[in-house]
Amino acid sequence: MIDIQAIRKDFPLLQQKIYNRPVVYFDNAATTQKPQIVINTINEYYQKYNSNIHRGVHFLSEKTTEAYENARQIIKNYINASFQHEVIFTSGTTESINLVAFSFGEKYIKQDDEVIISQLEHHSNIVPWQMMCERKGAKIKVIPATYNGDLDIAALERLFSDKTKIVCVNHVSNSLGIINPIEKIIQISHSHNVPVLIDGAQGIQHQPVDVNKLDCDFYAFSGHKIYGPTGIGVLYGKEKWLNEMPPYKSGGNMIKTVTFEKTIYNDLPFKYEAGTSNFIGAIGLGAAIKYIENIGKQNIFDYEEMLLHYVSEKISKVPGIRIYGTSDNKICVISFLIENIHHFDTGIMLDKMDIAVRTGNHCNQPTMKFYGIEGTVRASLSFYNTIEEIDYFVESLLQVKKIFA
Ligand code: PMP
């Protein structure tokens, strides 16, 4: 069980009134709020220890280097990677996927090869693959979805050919909140000897992730969506791939030796961390993961599931509402439209009532096209949200309906 009142006190932004009352923050899929411990950790490192990592022999540099590598260790344990050097710090999910699309593509993808993605991907798990395919003369194949937002796994089987080089799918769809059967997708792909990248941007903060048990080849996520700072993210990759692939960015830190004739790249993980990384961001992310561990992952997931049941039941009573993504396998995200009201209008009215939701296509234009719509209103909840906030949200939707009637 979690003590919701105590938890809410950990998040200073949630105490803040935007217009008349404390904000109801239902835009967690876009970014999450930060607990005080994360803010304090970042402040502390800037105030007391700031100094570039892996370069100095002095106290300050050793202190930040140690904290940075400790953050890597925390993440390695959190996702149960086999080695610390399988955890690469990036700027976020987008960069993690770009890294794999570039480096994996350079090494393994050639003319006429195929990459499988799904109908329900975020643009950042589409465009990097498209760019790589254009470069290499390869092509993208798409796993279709069913109307309730599940992927058609039977169809996936039929997409494989001897040209398939990688499968890239999200753990949880950001516009619908549907949890994909990634275990099954990985198992099917591996039976064809094809590796799998999981876009975990919406997964890891709501679902258990054990990369060893999953046996995924890559898992990407963003710090800011898991209560950590912006500008920091992670790419988990199996050692074998990370060793074989060429680096994606080059410069300082990623090298062992440089002459004008030849450069020898550094060992993992540094081979993929060119330049000064966002080391204080990484330290802040480590603090965020520790914070979650203290509350207990399972406690968080159970509480969020309770919120999902409550909000699903309540919102279904709003006349004229249409929910997108009705599969049972979902996290606490409700994507919807109210009959005859544009999603922007709903969002603007809710904002005036101190409720923050996301409106638009959620960087998922192919998903919106699939449903024949331009966008939705998306309410995405987290473990610091409450039943009372859901009640107020649903009452506010009824108000919006009345105003537009
Ligand atoms: N994939 C998914 C499923 C996402 O929801 C997002 C963020 N909305 C991204 C990728 C990109 O994450 P970021 O902008 O943090 O790199």
Distance of alpha carbon 383 from alpha carbon 302, whole angstroms: 9
Give the mean pLDDT of 359-366.
Answer: 96
> What CATH number is attached to the domain comprising 395?
3.90.1150.10
- Specify the CATH number for the domain of residue 189: 3.40.640.10
11, 118: one domain: no
For ligand 1, the distance from its centroid to the CA atom of residue 120, given in whole angstroms, is: 13
Output the pLDDT for position 56: 80
Decide if pLDDT at 131 tops 90.
Answer: yes
**355 token code pair:** 């409720």
Average pLDDT rounded to a whole number, residues 121-143: 98
Confidence of residue 405 (pLDDT cuts 50, 70, 90): confident
Please state, for a pLDDT cut of 90, what percent of the chain lies above it. 97
Query: For 263, left (φ over 0), alpha (ψ -120 to 50), or beta?
Result: beta
* Contact (Cβ atoms closer than 8 angstroms) between residue 362 and residue 334: no
Q: Are residues 306 and 277 in the same domain?
A: no
Q: For residues 122 and 17, give the distance between their C-alpha atoms in angstroms, rounded to a whole number.
A: 32
Find residue 330's DSSP bridge partners.
178
Indicate the residue among 237, 263, 293 that finishes a domain: 293
Domain count, the chain: 2
Pair (10, 144) in one structural domain: no
State the Cα–Cα distance between residues 182 and 211, nearest whole angstrom: 11
Q: Is the peptide bond before 269 cis (omega within 30 degrees of 0)?
A: yes
Contact by Cβ (8 Å): 271, 88: no
- Residue in the block written with tokens 């005080």: 36
Q: How far apart are CA 69 and CA 291, in angstroms?
A: 18
Domain of 108 in residue numbering reads as: 40-293
Quick check: 60 and 49 in contact, CB under 8 A? yes
Catalytic residues: 363
Ligand 1: lining residues by beta carbon, under 6 Å: 92-94, 122, 124-125, 170, 174, 199, 201-202, 222, 363
Work out the average pLDDT over 114-137: 98
Angle between helices 279-295 and 297-315 (to 10 degrees): 80
* 400 contacts: CB under 8 Å, gap ≥ 6: 338, 341, 345, 346, 349, 350
CA distance 201 to 108: 25
- Determine phi and psi for 196, rounding to 5 degrees: -130, 135
User: Both 55 and 10 in a single domain?
Assistant: no
User: How remote is the CA of residue 122 from the centroid of ligand 1, in Å?
Assistant: 7
C-alpha 84/C-alpha 166 separation (Å) is 24
Per-residue model confidence as pLDDT tens digits over 243-286: 999 999 999 999 999 999 999 999 999 999 999 999 999 999 99
The answer to whether residue 310 scores a pLDDT higher than 90 is yes
User: What's the pLDDT at 34?
Assistant: 98
Q: What is the mean predicted confidence (pLDDT) over 162-178?
A: 98
In the predicted structure, residue 298 carries a pLDDT above the cut 80: yes
The mean pLDDT value for 42-56 works out to 94
Say yes or no: 72 and 170 in one domain: yes
What pLDDT, on the 0 to 100 scale, is given for residue 84? 98
For residue 294, CA distances in Å to 2, 29, 44, 225, 291 come to: 11, 22, 20, 18, 5
Instruction: Work out the number of other CB atoms within 10 angstroms of the CB of residue 256.
Output: 11
Alpha-helical segments (H) within 80-138? 93-108, 127-136
Residue 3: CB partners within 8 Å, gap ≥ 6?
A: none
In a domain, 234, yes or no: yes
Q: Determine contact, residues 13/38, Cβ cutoff 8 Å.
A: no
Mean pLDDT across the stretch 312-340?
97
To test the ligand 1 pocket, which listed residue (32, 94, 95, 198) has its Cβ within 8 A of the most ligand atoms? Answer: 94
Q: Which atom of ligand 1 is nearest to the CA of 170?
A: 3
pTM of the model: 0.98
32, 91, 100, 124: which to mutate for ligand 1, most atoms within 8 A of CB? 124
Residue 361: how many other CB atoms lie within 10 Å: 17
Q: Which residue carries 């009705």 as its tokens?
A: 326
Mean per-residue pLDDT over the chain, rounded: 97
123 domain residue, yes or no: yes
Q: 274-283: per-residue pLDDT in tens?
A: 999 999 999 9
CA of 360 to the centre of ligand 1 (A): 15
* Domain final residue, candidates 255, 273, 293: 293
Residue with tokens 């449903």: 371
Query: What pLDDT score does 20 carry?
Result: 87
pLDDT at 1 over 90: no
What would the DSSP string read from start to end of 74-91? HHHHHHT-S-GGGEEEES
Identify the pLDDT of residue 188.
98
Query: Are both 355 and 283 inside the same structural domain?
Result: no
Kindly state whether residues 92 and 75 are assigned to the same domain: yes
Q: How many Cβ atoms are within 10 Å of 59's Cβ, its own excluded?
A: 10
pLDDT, tens digit (0-9, with 9 covering 90-100), for 342-362 = 999 999 999 999 999 999 999
Q: Nearest CA to 244 among 268, 262, 219? A: 268
Give the domain-ending residue among 229, 263, 293: 293
Is residue 353 a part of any domain in this protein?
Answer: yes
Q: Is the model's pLDDT at 55 over the cut of 80?
A: no
Residue 174 Cα to ligand 1 middle (Å): 8
φ and ψ of 236, to 5 deg: -90, 135
What span, in angstroms and rounded, lies between the C-alpha atoms of 340 and 37? 44
Give a yes or no: residue 35 inside a domain: no
Query: Hey, which residues does 142 pair with through a beta bridge?
Result: 117
Per-residue pLDDT tens digits for 97-117: 999 999 999 999 999 999 999
Residue 9: enclosing H or E segment and its boundaries?
helix 4-9
pLDDT of residue 11: 98
- The answer to whether residues 189 and 304 belong to one domain is no
